[in-house]
Amino acid sequence: MPPQVNQALPSGFQLDQYRIERQLSLGGFSIVYLAYDAEGTPVAIKEYLPNSLALRGEGEVEPKISAENEPAFRYGMKCFFEEGRALAKLMHPNVVRVLNFFRANNTVYMVMQFERGRTLHEYVNKHRDVLRERFLRGVFTRMLNGLREVHAHKLLHLDIKPSNIYLRLDGTPVLLDFGAARQTLMTGQPMLKPMYTPGFASPEQFAGREHLGPWSDIYSVGASMYACLAGSAPPRSDERTTKDTYTPAAKAFAGRHSEQLLDIIDWCLHLDPLARPQSVYALQKALVQRGPDEAMPASWFSDVGSRLKTFIGRS
């Protein structure tokens, strides 16, 4: 039976102080809209609306929730609201900015700064044949600055993938869609059904919560770098634990990129969490080295935004 599809709020709908312009994306957990505030500033609004628990039909505003699904829906809504509260405290240029969050229409909305640009997934699909290693290192090194901030606030992203890394028009990368960030490093809290993207999720995400940590996001970073080179994600980690069909990047892309970069990708994609980089800092330190004793010049990272802008401008 195909999953039910929730109807988006219509164009022109007034939602609190915001006017809905159009739907930007639809997922199994939420709907994202382009909207404008009272001053005419564009914003992105994420609406909590999991298709497995609630249904909103054509012309309706409030979702219908069965009595059976009510407890799970309410708990998920509380987590979504708390996620907004936690992310609103994050003010970092490489993390999407949460401006507001509020309850309405029997659900919750998260208002985020609207970013113009394209996802890394879109960019790589168009430019894979000319994708340069310096570009890849620059994007991920700067994105990891944002992930360090996320981890410093005791949050995990748990859904890092090229489609959740956004390249602004000025070229700077931004981490998007913290739908899984409600799973924090704190213990003693109930947890919703885990959210993950097959191929990008670490093996510990399939096994529960007790082994999750920064290393779990680092697995996803490695899978994202791999996908940029291969055009698709590596094999699912839960399947790798029973029969590992993963071809190491050092073998799959030998001669196309530096051995050091390919070794970094394989390092991140170890099934054993303890065999991966244990912190974002350790991974960043490796990424800025082109060889054992050859660091990328500091000036290159200071103007990487202009370099990325040139790349995007040519697309």
CATH number at residue 123: 1.10.510.10
Strands of the chain (E only): list them. 14-15, 18-26, 30-36, 42-48, 98-104, 107-113, 117-119, 165-168, 173-175, 289-291, 294-295
Q: How many domains does the chain have?
A: 2
Asked whether residue 97 falls in the same domain as residue 122, the answer is no
157-182 confidence digits (pLDDT tens): 888 999 999 999 888 999 987 755 44
Asked whether residue 169 falls in the same domain as residue 294, the answer is yes
Asked whether residue 105 falls in the same domain as residue 131, the answer is no
Residue 8 lies in a domain: no
CATH number at residue 47: 3.30.200.20
**pTM reported for the whole predicted model:** 0.83
Last residue of a domain, one of 113, 141, 159: 113
Asked whether residue 101 falls in the same domain as residue 70, the answer is yes
pLDDT at 301 over 70: no
Last residue of a domain, one of 91, 113, 135: 113
117-160 confidence digits (pLDDT tens): 999 999 999 988 788 999 999 999 999 999 999 999 888 888 89
CA–CA gap between residue 311 and residue 170 (Å, rounded)? 10
Residue 3 lies in a domain: no
User: pLDDT band at 272, cuts 50/70/90?
Assistant: very high
Asked whether residue 284 falls in the same domain as residue 246, the answer is yes
Last residue of a domain, one of 64, 89, 113: 113
- State the residue range of the domain holding 54: 14-113
Query: What integer pLDDT is reported at residue 23 of this predicted model?
Result: 95
